[in-house]
Amino acid sequence: MNTKLTVREQVLDHAITLMMLRGYNGFSYRDLSELVGVKTSSIHYYFPSKDDLVLEAVKQYSDEVVQALQAVDPALPADQKLAMYTRFFGKTLGDGNQICLCGMLAADIETLPEAVREAVQAFFRTNETWLAKVLAQGVKEGTLVARGKPESAARTLFAALQGSVLASRLFHTKTRLEDVEAMWKAAP
């Protein structure tokens, strides 16, 4: 059991949540201070600058997503893999109107240091690569449809998912995310 989180872990978790809600420029050390219950100077002890904090946040978030992808049973049919992925992608919407951290940081990217850009790029590539394999499998099986190369189809699919969580939150509905999934599923 790991019920007791260290201060550092709590800070990082709240930072991720806040950024997924309001973006990098929409939260402060003070917000974290109030949420965790320590002074801002204590947070600076763990994360000297906000740049350090966001970089660690991206790393942790990426690791969590990678683990979730690896946890998907390879034996499943591709359409079920995509359904799981879509559900996972939209989960944080219901949790509190949050969108993918790396989608959000992509919007804020021009205000962030180069190291963060590289980390976010790596996240994009990891997801796109995973989706490309799922699409290739789905085409072979006949459970999914994808025009052109799986790689470019995967980039388009990933972009559509990122755009759709944005729209889903904007309109307070999840149907836009479901529209995307339906578009890649083979007709029954």
Partner DNA sequence: GTCTATACATGGATAGAC
Partner DNA sequence: GTCTATCCATGTATAGAC
Q: Which residues here bind a copy of itself, judged by CB under 8 A? A: 21-23, 25-26, 97, 99, 103-104, 106-111, 117, 120-121, 124, 145, 147-148, 152-153, 155-164, 166-167, 169-171, 176, 179-180, 182-183, 187
Closest to a copy of itself by CB, 88 vs 171, is: 171
Cβ neighbours, 10 Å, residue 78: 23
Kindly tell me which of 47 and 89 has the beta carbon lying closer to a copy of itself.
Answer: 89
- The binder of DNA chosen from 9, 13, 21, 40 (CB under 7 A): 40
Pick the binder of DNA from 9, 13, 31, 108 (CB under 7 A): 31
Q: Phi/psi at 95 (nearest 5 deg)? A: -65, -30
Q: Is 111 in the site for DNA (CB under 7 A)?
A: no
For residues 54 and 157, which CB has a smaller minimum distance to a copy of itself in the complex? 157
CB of 25 to DNA, least distance (A): 8
- What is the contact surface with DNA in residues (CB under 7 A)? 7, 27-31, 37-42, 44-46, 48-51
